[in-house]
Chains A and B, each alone.
Chain A
Amino acid sequence: MARIASAIASRLVIIVPYAWLLFFFLIPFFIVFRISLSQTAIAMPPYTPVFDLAGGLSGILEGMREFSVDNYVWLTEDVLYFNAYVSSLFIAAVSTFLTFLIGYPIAYGMAQAPRSIRPTLLMLVILPFWTSFLIRVYAWIAILKPEGLLNQFLITIGVIDQPLIILNTNWAIYIGIVYSYLPFMVLPIYSALEKMDHTLTEAAQDLGCTPITAFWRVTFPLSLAGVVAGCLLVFIPAVGEFVIPDLLGGSETLMIGKTLWNEFNSNRDWPVSSAVATILLLILVLPIVYFQNVQAKADSEGR
């Protein structure tokens, strides 16, 4: 009896989270895809045909005949959407690179720190991640404004005499993304560097490498797994970022997350926003699958 109960329990361990994720994570994507093929209507919910399983298989087939690719045609016809996708990818790529440039020295410095203070440093990197994303982005508005703290500071020390216009430009978005996603870059690089065997760089230097060559030929290649994980953790969400371009970017900044949000909340066009989301997902499928492989590999190594 107890054995049967245990067998059921061990099944439930898998089935409960599996079913939850299937229902709340995977199935919704199919619904998004389905609605992206339907027509906009002035109704609630604002699209036709309505998801209806009551008609059985024939009802589903009937509904499928009404599918249309109009929304996708519409997306290709309007150059605005194409530009939004391209500029999202561009902004995300630039920000990811900048985050890497800033994050790597921090992670490296942390990994070289005395062992006793490393847990504290780690905690200090994680802590901002626990404070609100919205608040951290908001904090930059007061800093980057033309009459904001950064310009006041730079004018006081005499570097500039005219305030720099940063807020509502792409630079503000870069700063916002680098700032918000920095812990995501630092943590995987740090954990890769921390695991590294220091005798390797010493050996390289004993064999005549300068510290810089030893870094590029030994340390950096060994930390590459962390770099890849960090870049994906920054790049993928940054492509679909909404809050940062909305609060820090200007009106001419095109990012697809913002386009989708406006399409949905202002235009109330659910089918078009579903089509926008479907294409965004298709663009991101490759990096996401790659990320999962990196992650799964890291897990099996930890075993």
Chain B
Amino acid sequence: MAKWSRFNIVSVVLGFGFLYLPIVLLVIFSFNESKLVTVWAGFSTRWYAQLWHNQSLLDAAWVTIRVALLSATCATVLGTLAALALVRYTRFRGRVLFSGMVYAPLVMPEVITGLSLLLLFVAVGLDRGFWTITLAHITFTMCFVAVVVQSRLLSFDQSIEEAALDLGATPVRTFFAITLPVIAPAVFSGWVLAFTLSLDDLVISSFTTGPGATTLPMKIYSQVRLGVTPEINAICTILIGVVALGVLVASIVTKRRELQRERDERAAFAAIG
């Protein structure tokens, strides 16, 4: 094992500094007393207090959370199915098209996805609003879930599934008793990813929304266009906090489950031996 050279340490530290400094500055200036976001004038939480009186902002936050919860849950089910289809069924008619449709949304510019979904909703005569945003979010986030779950399924030891099948379990039962518990951490992190993607999507939401359904990013965007204010910094800090907390919980849960599984495996081997 080569030692970690100074050049490598410097590039990693600089890289992470670049990634984190802007976010850290944004958080710091949300606690700024002054209305100017670039001049420090003492610590204050007044911008946070002000947020609670901004009813339209709270409404937007509520819409955003509802869309994110609903779309992340549906996207997780669909994305997990898509991952299973990709990994377990190596040949079926139209598989190339299917895998293409799973990967393309990952890189598709959002303006195209947004516009095309809007035109679909208009063509089928769906009223635009909460439900169209949710449908749009399910569609683009399910592909991210699929990729996350797929990578877990690829490293999955299929022999334990085969054992269950040999012992007479139906494939459906095998899935719920064996496969799902093993891939659960990946499914869960897929859900968290879908939730956060939905939470901060601006472009696709703006295209597919209708009257009465304004999400938080749309609200933030319309205020940002008028200039940088500490109030926006405060909302952003709260959002960052929520996401960081979600990721932290997700990684602790994953870690716990892994440890639990290792313990179970050891116990099982001890019982055999």
Contacts and interface: CB of A to CB of B under 8 A. Distances in A.
Partners in one complex: yes
Interface of A: 2-3, 5-6, 9-10, 12-14, 16-18, 20-29, 31-32, 35, 45, 51, 102-103, 105-106, 108-110, 112-115, 121, 123-125, 127-128, 130-136, 138-143, 145, 147-149, 152, 179, 182-183, 186, 198, 232-233, 236-237, 239-243, 247, 257, 260-261, 264-265, 270, 273-274, 277, 280-281, 284, 287-289, 291-292, 295-296, 299, 302-303
Contact of B23 (A20, A112, A128, A134): A128
Q: In this complex, which of A3, A109, A114 has the most chain B Cβ atoms within 10 angstroms of its Cβ?
A: A109
Contacts of B206: 265
Contact of A17 (B2, B104, B142, B236): B142
B102 interface: yes
B120 A31 contact: yes
Nearest to B98: A18
Contact of A260 (B111, B193, B228, B236): B111
A109 B221 contact: no
15 contacts: A10-B171, A25-B104, A28-B120, A32-B119, A51-B123, A106-B12, A106-B15, A113-B4, A138-B232, A141-B228, A145-B38, A179-B19, A182-B19, A233-B106, A241-B109
Contacts of A32: 112, 115-116, 119
Interface string B193-213: 100100110110011000000
A24 B12 contact: no
Counting chain B residues whose Cβ lies within 8 A of the other chain, the interface size class is 35 or more
Contacts of A149: 25, 38
A121 B100 CA distance: 31
Nearest to A257: B111
A179 B18 contact: yes
A158 to B, nearest CB: 19
Given A109-B8, A136-B23, A28 B102 contact: no
Contacts of A303: 154
B239 A138 contact: no
Nearest to B8: A109
Q: In this complex, which of A2, A17, A140, A289 has the most chain B Cβ atoms within 10 angstroms of its Cβ?
A: A17
A68 B192 CA distance: 45
A292 B99 contact: yes
Interface string B111-125: 110011101101100
Contacts of A143: 22, 25
Contacts of A140: 22
A17 B78 contact: yes
A302 B111 contact: no
B150 A299 contact: yes
Interface string B143-154: 000100011001
A247 B123 CA distance: 32
A242 B203 contact: yes
Q: In this complex, which of A3, A51, A102, A112 has the most chain B Cβ atoms within 10 angstroms of its Cβ?
A: A112
Interface in B200-245: 200, 202-203, 206-207, 217, 220-221, 224-225, 228, 232, 236, 239-240, 243-244
B155 interface: yes
SS of B interface (majority): helix
A16 B75 CA distance: 12
Nearest to A284: B109
A252 to B, nearest CB: 18
Interface stretch (B46-54, B86-94, B180-188, B264-272): B86-94
Contacts of A127: 244, 247
B164 to A, nearest CB: 13
Nearest to B255: A119
Contacts of B220: 134-135, 138
A124 B247 contact: no
Contacts of A115: 1
B82 interface: yes
A141 to B, nearest CB: 5
Closest 7 pairs (CB-CB, A-B) = A240-B109, A132-B200, A28-B116, A106-B15, A109-B8, A105-B11, A17-B82
A274 B29 contact: no
Given A142-B38, A198-B1, A131 B239 contact: yes
A18 B83 CA distance: 11
A57 B223 CA distance: 48
Contacts of B117: 24, 28
A216 B151 CA distance: 30
Given A17-B98, A139-B23, 7 more contacts: A21-B82, A23-B120, A24-B135, A29-B116, A102-B18, A274-B119, A292-B100
A108 B150 contact: no
Contacts of B167: none
Contact of B94 (A18, A35, A186, A198): A18
B119 A302 contact: no
A65 B24 CA distance: 58
